Amino acid sequence: MKISLIIPCYNEEKNIQKGVLDRIANYVQDHKHFTEVVIVDDGSTDSTKEIIKKEYLPKFKFFRLVENNHEGKARAVIEGIRQSKEPFVMFTDIDLATPLEESEKLIAQAEKGFDIVIGSRNSTREGAPILRKVMAVGFIVIRNLALGLHKIRDTQCGFKLFNRDVALAIIDCIRLFDRQKTVTGSSVSAAFDLEFLFLASKMKKRIMEVPVIWRHVETKNVTFFHDVLETLRGIAVIMYHNVRGDYNN
């Protein structure tokens, strides 16, 4: 199977200077499944794009840079899926909180015929602040009651592998991110994962969840309380569209 690896990024010059793209390139170029890395820049205002264009695109021919307006991580992932060339797509966070070596676990399940394979972070969430752990439990309760995603333990892990055709069919049905909009500041758009998996469940797609290594990495792009409120609003909007029957069209 051939896979396009999608890396959404926004103002990541510090992570790039730490060598994350070099680690990604070194892994991908020796891997038989990955054929391209699609870096989707979400309107960075620092030197992210310039560094990638000058130092990485000439060096690694399997790297591609897609330049978006600043619309948030969800739109970056969507655009990456649309721009990808291979039958399977995988996306991961640029901070590599989950090592790329863990992709083998996802690939093994995709080869068995699963349409969507999602990483599940360890229950202890190694290194994460205690407040985030507590609020994560509360979020899971609300999510399950509202959307019925009881069979999925971790909807938010930024380490997922999709059959591209299935992903495109789901994206065509989403409501939260069906139109372009400009955002201010960072926007991780956690509700995207919820709507995507909610729709996948409604469509009876084959979903497999596998445990992966994950280590907490502090990032400026996560503003916890803002993201929680944004996600709760997203859940309410998903419920609204579901009650209206919009997802049945």
Axis crossing angle, helix 73-83 with helix 191-202, rounded to the nearest 10: 50
Q: How large is the C-alpha radius of gyration of the chain? A: 17
Write phi, then psi, for 25 (nearest 5 degrees). -60, -45
Span 137-161, pLDDT tens digits: 656 777 778 788 888 989 989 999 9
Cβ(60)–Cβ(37) under 8 Å? yes
122 versus 24: the higher-pLDDT residue is 24
Which of 36-40, 117-121, 135-139 is predicted with the least confidence, judged by mean pLDDT? Answer: 135-139
Please, which pLDDT band fits residue 229 given cuts at 50, 70 and 90?
A: confident
For 20, the 3-state DSSP assignment is helix
At residue 219, does pLDDT exceed 60?
no
- Checking if the pLDDT of 188 tops 80, the result is no
Q: Which domain holds residue 159?
A: 3-248
Average pLDDT of the residues in 85-103:
96
pLDDT of 239 higher than 60: yes
- The pLDDT of residue 109 is 98
pLDDT above 90 as % of the chain: 68
Report the range of poorest mean pLDDT among 20-24, 41-45, 121-125, 242-246.
121-125
Write out the H or E segment, with its range, that includes residue 153. none
User: Which of the four pLDDT bands, split at 50, 70 and 90, describes residue 128?
Assistant: low
| Count of domains observed in the chain | 1
Higher per-residue confidence, 154 vs 227: 154
Q: Does the pLDDT value for residue 185 go beyond 90? A: no
CATH code of the domain containing 61: 3.90.550.10
pLDDT value at residue 146: 78
Sheet with 159-163, edge to edge strand ranges? 63-68, 34-42, 3-9, 88-92, 159-163, 116-121, 207-212
| Residues β-bridged to residue 186 | none
Q: Higher pLDDT residue, 182 or 15?
A: 15
Instruction: Kindly report the pTM of this predicted structure.
Output: 0.87
Mean pLDDT of the chain: 88
Q: 168: helix, coil or strand?
A: helix
